[in-house]
Amino acid sequence: MSESANSTLTRRERSALQIATCAQQLAAERGFEGFTMEDLAQAAKVSRRTLFNYFDSKLDAVLGPEPELTEEFTGEFRAGGPTGHLLTDLGHLAHRHFERMPQEKSQITTMRQVIRNPRVMAACHERFETLAATVLEMIREREAGHYDEVRAKVALGLLIVLCQVALESFLESTDDRGFTDYYDEAAARANTLFV
């Protein structure tokens, strides 16, 4: 995670991410079924009791902290800001979300490997569906009487594609730019398609 992103996290959030990183490394090395919560507590250098203060299960630990879209992040978006352009504003909201996620290539590569486990993949999909439903509801609130569900789903779909393109570019890169730089680049290229 970049230093600036790390500085925006609370101590609890940093600890949760550190535990999740250990869980993902264990899952990558041993397989999801190949380690216990005791193994994880030892690897993360915390007590088993502390571990359960952060995560209810091994699956939760591997997935990491649940993505939070707090009012701090979403208030301006729901109110129609910051620019008034839906896709651009979704990008701003995504930026805030990215700041709270691991940014190291090695961590992302490890998680991509771990997601191949069907149980982990199903849990990731469930989280994604919940997050997507939340974002669609925020768009509905933002657009109130002018809400167009197809338009909202297209905007969300474009956001997802931009994230996928940015992720691939980020992981293939040899420079030291962060993931958000690649997202911004993909979004700028997408904008040229609609001119």
Count other C-beta atoms under 10 Å from residue 15's C-beta.
Answer: 17
What pLDDT is stored for residue 110 in this prediction? 93
CA-nearest of 92, 94, 107 to 19 is 107
Which of the four pLDDT bands, split at 50, 70 and 90, describes residue 8? low
- pLDDT one-digit tens code per residue, 124-162: 999 999 999 999 999 999 999 899 999 999 999 999 999
Q: From 62, 60, 67, select the one nearest 13 (Cα to Cα).
A: 67
DSSP string covering 33-77: GG--HHHHHHHHTS-HHHHHHH-SSHHHHHH-SPP---HHHHHHH
Token representation of residue 23: 């869980």
Query: Prior bond to 118 cis, omega within 30?
Result: no
- Exposed/middle/buried for 143, CB within 10 Å: 0-12, 13-18, 19+? middle
Determine the residue type at 104: E
Query: Where do the domains of the chain lie?
Result: 1-66, 67-195
Fold agreement between 1-66 and 67-195: no
d(CA 25, CA 132): 27
63 Cβ contact partners less than 8 Å away, ≥ 6 residues apart:
20, 120, 123, 124, 127
Determine the pLDDT at residue 97.
82
CA pair distance 1, 178, nearest whole angstrom: 9
If one counts every other C-beta atom within 10 angstroms of the C-beta of residue 87, the result is 17
The CATH number that domain 1-66 falls under is: 1.10.10.60
- pLDDT (tens digit per residue) in 9-68: 789 888 998 999 999 999 999 999 999 999 999 999 999 999 999 999 999 999 998 877
pLDDT of residue 73: 78
Classify 67-195 by CATH class: mainly alpha
Residues 92, 179: Cα–Cα separation, whole Å? 14
CB 159 within 8 A of CB 91: yes
pLDDT above 70 for 2: no
* Residue 104 clears pLDDT 90, i.e. is over it: no
**Phi, psi values for residue 47, rounded to 5°:** -75, 160
Tell me the pLDDT band of 4, cut-offs 50, 70 and 90.
very low
Model pLDDT, residue 1: 41
pTM of the model: 0.84
Answer whether residue 7 shows pLDDT above 70.
Answer: no
Residue 49: CB atoms within 10 A of its CB come to 8
